[in-house]
Amino acid sequence: MLFVVMFFYFAFYTINGERGLRRYLHLKQEISYATEIAERYSQEKKELEDKIRLLSSNSLDLDMLDERARTVLNMVQKDEFVILDQEN
């Protein structure tokens, strides 16, 4: 009887314990989600670095400078139309 009780005790904590199977699967899912977020932020960082590179004094892109000035100052010419983008 003692062996049966011990067997169920260890089987239960193998599945539900602090270092059990359920906890392992939960942590694996969290790692997957964190990796996904890290990749998303890495891509966003790369895009921002590309924009910053275009605005640097070494390689100034006048179109990018004009776009940023219009966005920040919220101004356009009288003969221009504005199409708003939902992302920005």
- pLDDT per residue over 1-38, tens digit each? 999 999 999 999 899 988 899 999 999 999 999 999 99
User: What is the model's pTM?
Assistant: 0.55
CB-side neighbour CA atoms (13 Å) of 68: 12
Are residues 26 and 34 in contact, defined by beta-carbon separation less than 8 angstroms? no
Rounded Cα distance between 25 and 81, Å, is 53
Contact between 62 and 53 under an 8 Å Cβ cutoff? The reply is no
Q: How far apart are CA 12 and CA 15, in angstroms?
A: 5
